[in-house]
Every structure is written in structure tokens, then in C-alpha cells.
Structure 1
């Protein structure tokens, strides 16, 4: 929160930090969360998440470059959304953003007109800030359609306390905290009111500000810093209560409590004199759990996520249920294949096999799809649709099973198919 990389990721304008990869990526082939949104029909309900805030929302970790794909709390929250249906994320985490910057940014979004980088916050180190400023009308449209809006903010407001705590007297420290609390409360309330005026009904979840310095590093100032963190949590609770309404919930994610006493394992501490504090991957998972439990009640991970062997097949989650089948997924020529019958059974589709033509006919959701073994196209309602890799037969026990590439499920049946390399899991939602 104090120092930020000068080079960071630049992605497409429609979703600056949501990185897509081909569905054919191998289950253990990538280091970051990779969401391959193969099909998301506009007529289908999609749970839309918009993430606003600072570098915590951006998923920043020390050492990131433009080739690094973030895997922070927001990306994990998107994965959790896939357990519940079609979900999409637009992430507008800005490196170096303060509560004043967030207030300025949300005011510009409320007005719906493009602004300038300095109109958000002067001197921001984020190299994408001109894009963020220019995309204000688009961000407003996305916020209008959002079902869930998440915010992390405040770390850049209070970072000076980490450096000055040992130098200030108790009275000076208390006075400094009071000044920061007043600015924090005013700006956060203004930001929430701006967002609520854009979208009167979405759930808004604001994270409180955790104290990142472990006791071994903070020494005698640890108690003072923890006391300040408690004050900021109380301030956040007060602000949230002032804008929370029936039918338009504003909730507080108590992240600080998850970091208390275990800061060293959840936080990167880089540099001396002017240190850089950001969550580790374990820290980001803790943050994601708090947000997820507020929204959906439980944080879920497939069993394969904890397995280290690359030989372990990926997990398949269909309609939120992890498939338990002897017909394991197969990685072939860089493509992930699934046993067609397992997916059809999971969604309640009907299928018929024709031995003469070596083809399967599937009827689902108003579509009739014909899949022929070895063909580089499938028929959808009578029309040929090309696929990159053909279906094949695989011997499982004494039976031959039809295996279909993941991407063809989206192409043919219109399913929403996403793959997370971190969880080694494919999420399929009809």
C-alpha cells in the first residue's frame, strides 16, 4: 500500500483485470486464475460483480509485472460465483487509490462523464489510470447492472501510521488517528452514497481496514496500531449502518479480524524504511472468504485444488455440484475433454446414440445438437458449427464413452464454461 510497481497489467477495456484464456489450457498449465468465458448468452441471467477500490481490489503483490495475471480476492469471488450460476466480474482496482480518490472517482461515475487522472487523484502510480478515467461512462453502465459491488479502501490513507507510530507520542498518535478517521468516514460515506444513487438495489460490501504489520516487525508500536485498526473498523461499521437499507444492503466485511495475530503469514513485507505491505495469496484467500460468506454463506473449494500432482484430473462442477464419476476428464492435445453422458445427466438433457453414424444427438434448451466422432464440426439445429478438436470414443471399463472438448459444450449447447487453473476446475452452467 506504500509502494507500487510501475509496470502492471493492462487488459481489455471492458474488464481491465479479468484475464481470459482458451478453455483448452491444461489443468496445471498456468500459475494464475484464468477465466475462460466461452459462452454467456445475453438472454441468460448473469450475476454481475463490480469491484472498486485500491491495490487490494486489483490483487497486487510485490514483484508483479505486465505479464503477471492477478489472483486476488476479486478473482476468487468470481470463482465462488460460478458455483451459484453464470457470473461475471469487472475489476476496477486502482493502485495507490485513497478514500479521497474513491470519492472523486465515484462522483465522476455518478455524473457519467469521462474525467482525467488528476480528477480522480493526483500522482497515482497506476499506469492504467488514464484508461480508468476515460472509461467512466462504461463503469457507470456496469455499476447500474451490478448485483454485487465490492470495495477495499483505506490502506493508502493510514499507511503513514505504520511509519510514524514509533515517533509519535500517545497524544500525537491519537490526534493523527482522529484526523484520518474523519477523512475516511466522510469520503467512504460519500462514495457509498454515489454508488447507491447509481444502483439502488445491488448489494454493496465494504471491507474494513486490516493492520498488516506483524508484532515481530512492529515491536512496541503493535498495540497502538491494533488499537487504530479497531477504531477504523468501528468507523466503517458506523458508515455502513448509516447507508444500509432494507432491500438495498450495505454490508461490512470484517477482514481485519482475520489478519489479527497472523499478519506475518498473510502479508508481504518488502523493503525497509518505506515498506510495501500487501496480502500474500493466503491473505487474499482470507479476504475472499469473508466476502463470500457474506454473499453466499460458504466458501467452497474442490478437493483437487489441494492436490499437487499434475497427474490428478481436473474437477468438474455442473450447476454448482461437483461431479463424482469414474469417467475422469482427459487432457489430450492441450484440450480438456469430458465424458458427454456425465454432463448431460447433470443438466437433465436427453441424448441418443446412433451406431451407424457414430454420432450422438442431444436435445436441450430448444437446441438439437448432433456430435459425430472424429468430425471437426457439430450440427446445431441443423447448421454446421466448427469446433477446434473433434469428439472421440474412450474405453472406460467395458464401455466406450463419448468424450467432448469443453469448448464444444459452449459452442453446441450454449453452456457457460469457465476454467480456473488455480482450482484446476471447470465450471459449467447451463
Structure 2
């Protein structure tokens, strides 16, 4: 069970980081036109859905499970991501957020977080999300997938109550509080998922269970491990009941992967900060679990050979000839581009001109020229096409982004993967 127990400074830094995250996600996943077949993802929940890690500073951009899931979607086709995660959010708070979206009512941090001593920066981030309930409703209405982590802040009072206790006292405190908290949480989640389905009627909903960030030497590890299993079973029952009502909820069981990996997968530290957020390894594990539930697999680019600057994935596949980079522009062999995007290409040797065409769009590019023609309109380019020897063959290399955008394809660069996704 992920728990939100940070020192005030960490909370402040995380809030500043979240404000940066909202902007970065918007730029990383631009809105597409309605005519395109786009797989739309909406992320909801708490700080785990934000991708927070302790130590982040102003300007830090997280790389959490949501970011990785967006990349997984890009492996499968043109995709879009919208995130409405809120630091410190509980299950009742999420229910309030969804009701605000349903009622087209803008909300405040007080509505979402209740009475709290969290710093002003955290409240500002909650205010920002609360003010976007109309956008949330619109995004959910078009969503194909909704993913969420929620519950760590619901269960955190139990850990707060026992963190300074030992032995039977701690065990009794867990026994006295866990079932009540779990029942309240399950009730809230039943309400959340039903409300979410009304707002996102075409979306598959995937909810994570709660991992345990504590490791074995702690005196109450065994009791909390059993509680995590009990909660996971309760969520399975919730999913079964809702599925019978034609509400498509699946549970991503992240908790088993954290067992025996708690030190590697979390930042938990009982002495200094008592922070329980996932590490990069933990976020990777969470993303893998979600991806296995959604797509039955977790994909990665093939290892790059020395000298290959980035990976190129075009409609889910990597072309045979490796890309090159000149003046921050990615180039691929002309035939690779044509084959990968399914475009027709005509080559005129006399003028050394390639003409790509697909779906009524025509892109013409000439080796050495600093212009490109898209549907008859000439546009400047910074780096022209060129010849390059590959083995015993002379191949024409063309700027990939120019060709793909000219053919109206989605081009998304993911810095953490050092990969560019091109999807039709």
C-alpha cells in the first residue's frame, strides 16, 4: 500500500514538480484531430500517477508508470495522454473530482483534499486540476483507457499510527484499523468506478492494487503483507461484481512484484523521511503490470548499436537500416520510410527527387535541396536529403520528421527512451 508520508520540504518540491509535469504532459501528448484513429488515455489518482520521487527539484520532470504506459500505447499506434492526477488525493477526493466533472462544476483544493496542512504549492496544484473539470469530462468522454492509482493516502493513517510502535501493540493497531479502512475504501471505489464509467463509457478502466513499501525486518511486516493480500482479493471481488454490471474494470496487481523487492522498488526510509514512493525500478514494474493487463506485453526498443543515436519505431516496428542524426535531424533510408509508413514512392534519377504519396497527400523531396514540397506548397528545411553508402549499396537518406509530418503522421520523441515514434 503506497503511503503519502513526506516531510514538508519534500511535499513542496513535489508540488512544484507537479506543476511542471502538467505542462510537460500536455506538450508531450498533443491533441489530435477528430478524424484520426487515436487511442486516448486518461490518468487519474494520487502522487504515484503523477510519477513523484523524493529529491525532485523545481523543473524536474518525472518518468513514472503513466509516462511509460503512454510509450507502450505509442508502440501500438497513434496515442494521446491526459493526466489529472492530484498529490495527496484519497478515494473520496477522487469521487468528488469525478462528480465535479459530471456536474461541470469547477472545484478547489478544499473540495479535493479537505482540511489539510499541506503547503500552498500543493494546494495550488490541486486548485489547478480542480479548475479543469470541464476538460476532464471531455477527455473522459473520448477515452479508450483510464488508469489510476488511489488508496495510499487512505491507508496512510494506519502506518502513521504504528510507525513508532513495536510488537503486539503495532499488530493490534493494524488489526483494529485495517478492516474498517478497507471497507470504507472499497465503498468509495465502488462509487468511483461507477461514476467513472458513466463519464467514460467506452473506456477500459484499470486500477492498481496497493504495494507494500516496508521490508521484512520491520516487526509488523507480516501483518501488513497479509493486509495487502486481503485488499487485493477485495479489489478482485469488486472487479467481478462490476464486470457483471458491464462495467469494464480490471485490477493491475502490482503488489506481488514488490515482495522481496521493496528496497529496490521504493524510497522507503523509516529514519529520515518515511517516504514510500516508487523508485524508477518500482515505476517500471508498475508500468509492466499495467501493460500486461492492457496489451498482454511490455515492449522496449531493440538495443542500439554503437553510433546509432536513437531508436525509430514506425507503426510499431523498427526499420532494418539504422537512423542517422545530422544537425539534430533524424534521417532514415528512403525505402525504409516508404515501407514503414505504407506510402507509395517514386524516384526520379535525373532530378534525384523522391515523391511520397498516401491518402491524397503528396510529399516531394530532392537530394541536396533545402526545400520540401507538401501538396504543392514549398517549405524550407534545415538539412537536405543526402546519399549514404550502406554496405555495398548507395542509399538515399531523407529527414524522417519532415516526411512523416508531411504525410500527416504523428511524430512523438520520448527522451527517456531515446526513441521516436511515428504512427499513421
TM-score, normalisation: structure 1: 0.88
Contact kept, 8 Å, 1:240 with 1:251, in 2: the verdict is: yes
Question: What secondary structure, in the 3-state scheme, does the structure 1 residue paired with 2:220 have?
Answer: helix
Question: What secondary structure, in the 3-state scheme, does the structure 1 residue paired with 2:268 have?
Answer: strand
The answer as to 2:136 corresponding to 1:139 is: yes
Against the structure 1 CA distance between its residues 423 and 183, is the aligned structure 2 distance closer, same or farther, given a 3 Å change threshold?
Answer: same
Within 5 Å, give how 1:370-385 maps onto structure 2.
370-385=364-379
The answer as to 2:87 corresponding to 1:95 is: yes
Counterpart CA distance in 1 for 2:314 and 2:417 is 15
Deviations 1:36-72 (A, max 9, x none): 76x9443210000000000100011111123111111
Following superposition, the deviation at residue 429 of structure 1 comes to 1.1
Deviations 1:11-30 (A, max 9, x none): 689x555164xxxxxxxxxx
Counterpart CA distance in 2 for 1:358 and 1:17 is 40
The answer as to 2:46 corresponding to 1:6 is: no
Which position in structure 1 is the counterpart of 2:252? 253
Counterpart CA distance in 1 for 2:338 and 2:75 is 18
CA RMSD after TM alignment? 2.3
The answer as to 2:158 corresponding to 1:161 is: yes
The more displaced of 59-68 and 378-387 is 378-387
Contact kept, 8 Å, 2:29 with 2:80, in 1: the verdict is: no
Against the structure 1 CA distance between its residues 161 and 10, is the aligned structure 2 distance closer, same or farther, given a 3 Å change threshold?
Answer: closer
Structure 2 segments unaligned to the other structure (5+ residues): none
Against the structure 1 CA distance between its residues 272 and 169, is the aligned structure 2 distance closer, same or farther, given a 3 Å change threshold?
Answer: closer
Deviations 1:366-423 (A, max 9, x none): 1111112233331112112333433222232343322222320333111111222222
Following superposition, the deviation at residue 363 of structure 1 comes to 1.5
Against the structure 1 CA distance between its residues 178 and 278, is the aligned structure 2 distance closer, same or farther, given a 3 Å change threshold?
Answer: same
Which position in structure 2 is the counterpart of 1:187? 188
The more displaced of 236-245 and 64-73 is 236-245
TM-score, normalisation: structure 2: 0.89
Following superposition, the deviation at residue 260 of structure 1 comes to 1.4
Counterpart CA distance in 2 for 1:213 and 1:17 is 32
Deviations 1:54-105 (A, max 9, x none): 0100011111123111111111111110111101111122111111211211
Contact kept, 8 Å, 1:266 with 1:283, in 2: the verdict is: yes
Against the structure 1 CA distance between its residues 248 and 400, is the aligned structure 2 distance closer, same or farther, given a 3 Å change threshold?
Answer: farther
Aligned residues: 407
Which position in structure 1 is the counterpart of 2:423? 429
Structure 1 segments unaligned to the other structure (5+ residues): 21-34
The answer as to 2:205 corresponding to 1:204 is: yes
Following superposition, the deviation at residue 344 of structure 1 comes to 0.6
Which residue, out of 312, 317, 321, partners 2:317? 321
Question: What secondary structure, in the 3-state scheme, does the structure 1 residue paired with 2:378 have?
Answer: strand
Which residue, out of 342, 347, 350, partners 1:353? 347
Contact kept, 8 Å, 2:363 with 2:403, in 1: the verdict is: no
Counterpart CA distance in 2 for 1:149 and 1:311 is 38
Counterpart CA distance in 2 for 1:273 and 1:426 is 40
Against the structure 1 CA distance between its residues 396 and 234, is the aligned structure 2 distance closer, same or farther, given a 3 Å change threshold?
Answer: same
Against the structure 1 CA distance between its residues 186 and 274, is the aligned structure 2 distance closer, same or farther, given a 3 Å change threshold?
Answer: farther
Which position in structure 2 is the counterpart of 1:65? 57
Deviations 1:333-381 (A, max 9, x none): 1222222210211233221222332211111121111112233331112
Deviations 1:112-155 (A, max 9, x none): 22111111113355342121011111111001100000110111
Please identify runs of 4+ aligned residues in structure 1 that moved more than 6 A: none
Which residue, out of 388, 391, 403, partners 1:409? 403
Question: What secondary structure, in the 3-state scheme, does the structure 2 residue paired with 1:269 have?
Answer: coil
Contact kept, 8 Å, 2:20 with 2:61, in 1: the verdict is: no
Following superposition, the deviation at residue 215 of structure 1 comes to 1.5
Counterpart CA distance in 1 for 2:329 and 2:93 is 44
Counterpart CA distance in 2 for 1:273 and 1:345 is 55
Against the structure 1 CA distance between its residues 247 and 45, is the aligned structure 2 distance closer, same or farther, given a 3 Å change threshold?
Answer: farther
Deviations 1:226-263 (A, max 9, x none): 11211221222232223224764111111111111211
Which position in structure 2 is the counterpart of 1:30? none
Counterpart CA distance in 1 for 2:12 and 2:111 is 20
Within 5 Å, give how 1:14-413 maps onto structure 2.
16=23, 18=25, 20=27, 35=28, 40-122=32-114, 123=116, 126=122, 127-165=124-162, 166-167=165-166, 168-216=169-217, 219-245=218-244, 248-270=247-269, 272=271, 275-304=274-303, 311-323=307-319, 325=320, 327-413=321-407
Against the structure 1 CA distance between its residues 10 and 390, is the aligned structure 2 distance closer, same or farther, given a 3 Å change threshold?
Answer: farther
Question: What secondary structure, in the 3-state scheme, does the structure 2 residue paired with 1:385 have?
Answer: strand
